[in-house]
Structures are given as structure tokens and as C-alpha cells.
Chains A and B, each alone.
Chain A
Amino acid sequence: NAGVTQTPKFRILKIGQSMTLQCTQDMNHNYMYWYRQDPGMGLKLIYYSVGAGITDKGEVPNGYNVSRSTTEDFPLRLELAAPSQTSVYFCASSYSGQGSSPLHFGNGTRLTVT
């Protein structure tokens, strides 16, 4: 199994541009998550999904959107990129909710907005 795969690995955006960060998992996990990681800070939850067609906001959802049309894929959309969105983004999945099973993370997308 490849686990959780994220693309691209790196991206530079200009202010106001938009992009989609891709995430796919091959473990047949129902739960998927998007986190951002800023230097010296813990991971912050952006959005999560408990199954295809169901998404919900996390701690820091502003400026982002998600969709979950299949079990495998959970893309994160940035509209009107801002410098505050410069961060490393991690997608994760789990067999059940975060209160009962560990998350499996991808290797991240490093995004710079200038």
C-alpha cells in the first residue's frame, strides 16, 4: 500500500491565485483530514471528512474548501491565496475517528504565497 499520497510536494503561489492540493489514500479509510503546520507550532486541523459526501470544518477553515466525492480522495482548495497561508499542509486518514485510532499522514505539501 502507498498509504496517503499528496501532490504537489512544493508550490509557490502569488497572492490572489488559487490552487488545489491533492490527497489520496489506498487504505479504504473513511476518515480523512487536512492539517497545516507552521514553524514552531503544532498541527492545526483545517477540515475533515467522516466519509464520502460528508465534510466539516476544523479549527482553522477560513480561506479553504474541501470536497469528498470518493472514499480515496480528499482535495483541499485554496481560493485567493494569502501570505498567511504559507505553510506545510498535511493530509491524513484514519480507520475510525481521531478519538479511537491513529492518523496516517502523507509527506506534506510545502506552500509559499508571495
Chain B
Amino acid sequence: GESVGLHLPTLSVQEGDNSIINCAYSNSASDYFIWYKQESGKGPQFIIDIRSNMDKRQGQRVTVLLNKTVKHLSLQIAATQPGDSAVYFCAENPGANNLFFGTGTRLTVIP
């Protein structure tokens, strides 16, 4: 299967600071990428997606950056809040009807 990895398994940030969560993907043919947030006891929740013809996309307090040259994806969360504490997954779609998920990064926001 595909390998979608994360540089850091855990990340702690102060409330109000910006958070950056990184993700490396392995398949240069992947053309669609998604970030999910998963809170304890719940299913993954869609945050933002990006296609390979873009290198940046912004949502509400979140920005996803895609660097196809080094096969790297990042999620930036502005003014991190306690409610942002969760596990964040990136996923890539290299074609066909399957997404490959990373193992996740646990974000902890310190009040």
C-alpha cells in the first residue's frame, strides 16, 4: 500500500499560537489530498482539501500547503484554540477509488 507519513507524532502548542502539522506522501501520482481532524471517540471530520494543480488553499483559520517537488503537505492552524486539540490525519489519493491515510499527529493545545 501507499505510505503516508508524518514527521511528528505529537505536537504541543500554546493557545493563541499558530500550529503547523506536516505530512510526507510517497506517490508522485497522487492528485488529491485531504486533512481530517479526529477527536476522541469520534469519527474523522473533514477540514480542508487540495488538488495537485494548487499549492495553497485557505479555509477558516486553516491553510494547506502542497509542495509536489518534495512530496510534502502541511496544515497550518492560525490562533490555535483548545478545541483544536485532536489527532490530525492527512490522506492522499493516487487514483482509483482509495484514499491512503497517515497515522496521525496528536495536537495538544496548552491553555
CB distance from B92 to the nearest CB of A (A): 10
Interface window among B10-18, B38-46, B60-68, B76-84: B38-46
Chain A residue contacts of B4, Cβ below 8 A: 42
User: Of the candidates A50, A58, A90, which one forms a contact with B98 in the assembled complex, judged by CB atoms under 8 Å apart?
Assistant: A58
- The interface size bin for chain B is 20 to 34
9 contacts between A and B (CB under 8 A): A43-B44, A43-B91, A48-B98, A50-B97, A99-B32, A99-B95, A99-B96, A107-B41, A108-B41
Q: Check A43 against B101 for contact (C-beta < 8 Å).
A: yes
How far, in Å, is A44 (CB) from chain B's closest CB?
8
Residue of B nearest to A45 (CB): B98
- Partner of A90 from the list B44, B95, B96 (CB cut-off 8 Å) is B44
B86 is an interface residue with CB less than 8 A from chain A: no
Q: Which A-chain residue is minimally distant from B3 (CB atoms)?
A: A42
Q: How far is it, in angstroms, between the C-alpha of A40 and the C-alpha of B102 when the chains are bound?
A: 10
User: Given A50-B97, A92-B43, A108-B41, 8 more contacts at CB 8 Å?
Assistant: A42-B89, A43-B44, A98-B97, A100-B32, A103-B46, A104-B46, A106-B43, A107-B42
Overall SS of chain A's interface = loop
Are the CB atoms of B101 and A42 closer together than 8 Å? yes
In the assembled complex, the Cα of A56 lies from the Cα of B93 at a distance in Å of: 17
Q: Mark A14-55, 1 if CB is under 8 A from B, else 0.
A: 000000000000000001000000001111110010100000
Q: What is the distance, in angstroms, from A36's C-beta to the closest C-beta of chain B?
A: 11
Q: Knowing A41-B103, A99-B31 are in contact, say whether A90-B43 is a contact too (CB < 8 A).
A: yes
Whether A102 contacts B43 in the complex (CB less than 8 A), given A41-B103, A42-B89, A45-B98, comes out as no
Closest to A99 in B: B93
Q: Which residues of A contact B36 (CB under 8 A)?
A: 105
CB distance from A28 to the nearest CB of B (A): 17
Residue of A nearest to B1 (CB): A59
